[in-house]
Amino acid sequence: MALHHRLAVLCAAAAFLPLGARAADTIKIGFPIPLSGPTAVYGKPLLQGAQMAVAEINAKGGVLGKKLEILSRDSKANADEAVRLSRELIIKDNVDFLVGTLTSAEAPAVSTVAKENKIVFIAPTSKSTILTDAQHIHPYIFRVSSNTDVEGDAGATEMAKFKDVKTVVTIGPDYAYGRDSIAAFIKALKQKAPNMQVVDSQWPKLGEPDFTAFINAMLSKNPDAVYCSLFAGDFVTFTKEATPLGLFKKIKNQLVDPAEVGTTDEAQALGADYPYGIVADAYDPVVWGGGNEPAEHKKFVEDLKAFTHDKYASGWSIVAYESIYALAEGIKKAGSTKSDAVSKALEGLTFDTPVGKRSFSVKSHETFSPEYWGTMSKDPNYPFAIIKDPELLPTDFKPS
Amino acid sequence: MAASFLFGQFMGGLTTAMFLFLIASGLSLVFGIMRVINFAHGSFYMLGAYLAWQAVQWVHPTGAGFWIAALFSAATVGLLGAVVERLFFRSLYGREELYQLLFTYALVLILGDAAKFIWGVDQLSVSTPPVLAGSVQLFGSTQPLYSLFIIVLGPIIAFLGWLGINKTGVGRLVRAAQMDREMLDALGANVGTIYTGMFVFASCLAGLSGALITPIQSIVPGMDVLIIVQAFIVVVIGGMGSFWGTFWGSVIYGQVLSFGILIFPGFSLFSVFALMAVILIVRPWGLFGRPL
């Protein structure tokens, strides 16, 4: 049995001990997140961000006098597994709320479970618009992350800054997020840079080990710039294969990637092979390559480094951290741990984060969170690429 | 469509093919001779990749560092293969396929967790050895030197393998073991040692392919499962147990993938799976295989 499964069994056994009193004392948060497989590299820091938030809140006495407790489970980035685990967390473990999932495959699936069981579910990272669109919105789903429309807007803004670009090719993973991301970019680009034409779109599968054929196809279209929604291991593989094929040289590094490849996690993974000069984003640049770092953020990063014993903090922990704090605010405002009350309290709620205030919109329960964008540059203080002069984009997004 | 573009796609397909051949050949070999379907073959490949990364951390990426790492991976995974074969596979030969499947699947889970335990869940990367880091212009398309290296290495290994099986004394024993294990045993040959030797050779190949893939792919948990599916498709197309079948199966897979994305741009997966489905319907034992 996997180590964390064994630990989960032990915890479940331990939970049976002082039965009655214990159940009422803590607020249980179910946290399905990929802890194995290619996306675990982001799942792990997300869980750590949530755990740090819980530790901080509990140190101050908890919420409504009760301590928060995270029950994490390995979703393996698989929608069916995430659904199964969520049901188990609700029915067997009696969680009060759900926070978590990583991908836009898992989150909409868990959202239906949340709706069935009337449990508030906060998704920290899923960007696909399907999560909160008119057909799928319900009182219990909330989204802390950005969504693909916001991301496409910012991506198009960055693309429009490039000089002498007439033709653009796109490449994105062939699933909900990738499709939405590219579509949103193309739509936004028409308005921000009508002289730029998207001449080709490539659709490798998520987890594609060999991008060579796709890269060759892109090169054959003679692009001036590339918009790329690949992330995590896919972006690492893509870069390692695209560099010797001359893609970055051809487009003079005019590549924009909105899928958080500007995080310290991704930069460290690629090390010296990182394609310096591309434009990327992160929810949290961690390393502020320029001025304007919010004071709360400095403290957040120091605390995170101490909590995780990592030399360089992850750019992913912040969204899970924000999700837990948002939930805590909702519970406080509602004065109750019942999901119906908390759901009403969360609608329109404004909460603090280390990088500014965010609010859940009343209509679609999302924050339309902007992200930090910039050119990935070398820095003598760090052995990996950092975002130079991180800029919060978009500044003027209006949901349609 | 420019000729240089088509040539580029063709070469890309060959590179994919040769990588797949290196790993699928071990799978096919083990099945052909020992009638064992080894799901854990992909895990050996993954361990080869992780071990290569680890070796590069220790030796420090000097010019020779990468090659030392590759040999280290091959040797260590080969050793692991020997241990696994001696301790566990011995009791599986001749048993129902279900037991073999269950055991090798269990091995996949164990090795996957072991890798996660040792190296964590972060994606790791190894740089291309400097001598192969550049590219050349061939017929108007840019060819990375590393891809050319792999394209040349594949057929060399194929040829050496063919030589070994068909022209050496050991090879004759291996072919005899494939044809009739009991008779060979009765004739006094040490079938057990032959089996172990074959398994070690296949594991070395898996470890080596894992090490060689690291300059062009990220090392992530889950790469074991990804590769074993591809290796199976190749072996199904080419024919289980047939050496040249695996070679040509890989070439076909590589080209179908390369050009499939031109015909079905939205369905990169579709073309290869469709091919496998067609083969299974028309000629289930593969192009070069023999009916089981």
In a domain, A94, yes or no: yes
Say which of A36, A202, A273 has its CB closest to residue B116: A36
DSSP A52-66: HHHHHHHHTT-BTTB
pLDDT exceeds cutoff 50 at B14: yes
B220 CA: distance to closest CA in chain A (Å): 5
Residues A142 and A183 in one domain: no
SS3 per residue for A186-219: HHHHHHHCCCCEEEEEECCCCCCCCCHHHHHHHH
Residues A307, A263 share a domain: no
**B258 interaction partners in chain A (CB closer than 8 Å):** 212-213, 216
- Among B269, B44, B149, residue whose Cα is nearest residue A213: B269
- A20 and A164, same domain (yes or no): no
Does residue A355 form part of some domain? yes
CB contact under 8 A, A207 and B226: yes
- Dist. CA B264–CA A133, nearest whole Å: 30
Give B-chain residues touching A271 at CB under 8 angstroms: 125, 127
Is residue A76 included in any domain, yes or no?
A: yes
On whether any CB of chain B is under 8 Å from the CB of A199, the answer is: no
pLDDT confidence of residue B139: 83
Shortest Cα–Cα distance, A270 to chain B (Å) = 6
Residues A181 and A34 in one domain: no
Q: Check whether residue A43 and residue A164 sit in a common domain.
A: no
Q: Assess contact for B240 and B26: CB atoms under 8 A.
A: no
> Does pLDDT of B89 surpass 60?
yes
Phi, psi of A30 (to 5 degrees): -75, 135
**pLDDT tens, position by position, B248-266:** 999 999 998 888 877 776 6
Distance CA B1, CA B21 (A): 29
Is A178 in contact with B272 (CB distance < 8 Å)? Answer: no
Q: What is the mean pLDDT of chain B?
A: 86
A166 with A183, same domain? yes
Tell me the C-alpha distance between A196 and A180, whole Å: 20
Strands, DSSP E only, in A22-120?
Answer: 26-33, 67-74, 97-99
Instruction: Check CB contact under 8 Å for A219 and B258.
Output: no
Question: Would you state the pLDDT for residue A21?
Answer: 39
- Is A307 or B93 the better-scoring residue by pLDDT? A307
- pLDDT at position A74, please? 95
Q: Is residue A219 part of a domain?
A: yes
Give the three-state DSSP class for B217.
coil
Note the pLDDT of residue A26.
92
pLDDT over 90 at B32, yes or no: no
Mean pLDDT of all residues in B67-80: 94
Between B126 and A92, whose confidence is greater?
A92
Residue B1's pLDDT is what?
61
Asked if A326 and A385 sit in the same domain, the reply is no
Residue B36: per-residue pLDDT: 80
Kind and range of the H or E run holding B138 = strand B135-138
Written in H, E and C, the secondary structure of A269-294 is HHHHHCCCCCEEEECCCCCCECCCCC
Check which CATH number belongs to the domain holding A135 and give it. Answer: 3.40.50.2300
Q: Does residue A338 share a domain with residue A220?
A: no
Q: Are residues A249 and A349 in the same domain?
A: no
Chain A partners within 8 Å of B266 (Cβ)? 174, 203
Q: Mention every residue, 6+ apart, whose C-beta is less than 8 A from residue A59.
A: none
Both tokens of B189, joined, read: 């040959």
Q: Rounded to whole angstroms, how far apart are CA atoms B160 and B149? A: 16
Interface check for A8 against chain B (CB to CB < 8 A): the answer is no
Same domain, A31 and A82: yes
Pairing of strands A255-257, A356-359: unpaired
User: Would you say residue A399 lies in a domain?
Assistant: no
Domain enclosing residue A124, as ranges:
3-146+302-359
Nearest-by-CA chain B residue for A265: B122
Q: Has residue A288 been placed in a domain?
A: no
B43 exposure class (CB count in 10 Å sphere: 0-12, 13-18, 19+): buried
Instruction: Please judge whether B222 and A220 are an interchain contact, meaning their C-beta atoms are less than 8 angstroms apart.
Output: no
Give, for all 400 residues of chain A, the pLDDT tens digit.
566 666 666 655 555 554 443 446 899 999 999 998 778 889 999 999 999 999 999 999 999 999 999 999 999 889 999 999 999 999 999 999 999 999 988 999 999 999 999 999 999 999 999 999 999 999 999 999 999 999 999 999 999 999 999 999 999 999 889 999 999 999 999 999 999 999 999 999 888 888 888 998 899 899 999 999 999 889 999 999 999 999 999 999 999 999 999 999 999 988 889 999 999 999 999 998 777 788 899 999 999 999 999 899 999 999 999 999 999 999 999 999 999 999 999 999 999 999 999 999 999 999 999 999 999 999 999 999 999 999 999 988 887 6
d(Cα A272, Cα A208) in Å, to the nearest integer? Answer: 22
Which residues of A are less than 8 Å from B116 in CB distance?
36, 40
Higher pLDDT pick, A242 / B162: A242
Domains: count for chain A: 2
Nearest to A231 by CA among A286, A167, A144, A171: A171
Minimal CA separation from A244 to chain B, in Å: 5
* Same domain flag for A189 and A128: no
CA B33 from centre of chain: 16
Name, in order, each residue with C-beta under 8 angstroms of A3's C-beta and a sequence gap of 6 or more: B113, B117
| Best residue of A7, A237, A273, A310 to probe chain B, by most B CBs closer than 10 Å | A237
Instruction: Give yes or no: residues A135 and A154 share one domain.
Output: no
Q: Residue A353: beta bridge partners?
A: A356
Is A188 within the bounds of a domain? yes
Instruction: State the ipTM, two decimals.
Output: 0.75
Q: Is residue A291 part of a domain?
A: no
CB contact under 8 Å between B220 and A240, yes or no, is: no
What are the strands, taking DSSP E only, across B32-80? none
Secondary structure element (H or E) that encloses residue A353, with its range: strand A350-353
What residues does A73 pair with on adjacent strands? Answer: A32
